[in-house]
Chains A and B, each alone.
Chain A
Amino acid sequence: MIAPRSATASVPGWASILGVVVVVLGVFLTAAHATEWLKQSVLSANVPPSGIMPDADCPPAELEEEGISEAECEYLVDHVRGLMLASPDWFPAAMGTLAIMGTILAFVSVIVGGALVNHTPWASVAAIGVLGGLVLIDILQFGTVALAGPILRDAYLGNFFLWFLLHLMLVTGVFAGRQYDQKGSGESGPP
Chain B
Amino acid sequence: MQRQGFTRTAVLIHWILAVSILFLFLSSWWMMGLPLPSPDLQFRALPFQLHKNIGLTLAIFLLTLLYVRLKYRPAPPGDRKTGSQVHLLAVVTHVLIYLSVFALCVTGYLASAHTRWDTVFWWMIRFPRIAAPNEELNELWSDLHIYSSWLLLGLVAVHVTGAIYHSCRKDGVVRRMICW
Contact = CB atoms under 8 A, between A and B. Distances in A.
Interface of A: 1-5, 8-9, 11, 13, 16-17, 19-21, 23-24, 27-28, 30-32, 34-35, 38-39, 41-43, 45-46, 48, 53-54, 56-59, 61-62, 64-66, 73, 76-77, 79-80, 107, 110-111, 113-115, 117-118
Contact of A31 (B22, B41, B47, B180): B22
Contacts of A27: 15, 18-19, 22
B47 to A, nearest CB: 6
B23 A20 contact: no
A11 B170 CA distance: 8
Interface of B: 3-5, 15, 18-19, 22-23, 25-27, 30, 32-38, 40-43, 46-47, 50, 74, 78-79, 135, 138-139, 142, 160, 163-164, 167-168, 170-172, 174-176, 178-180
A35 B26 contact: yes
Contact of B36 (A16, A30, A41, A76): A76
A5 B78 contact: yes
Contacts, number: 135
Given A43-B43, A76-B36, A65 B138 contact: yes
Chain A contact residues, majority secondary structure: helix
Contacts of A73: 35-36
A58 B37 CA distance: 9
Given A2-B176, A20-B167, A48-B40, A38 B50 contact: yes
Contact of A57 (B3, B23, B38, B164): B38
B3 A1 contact: yes
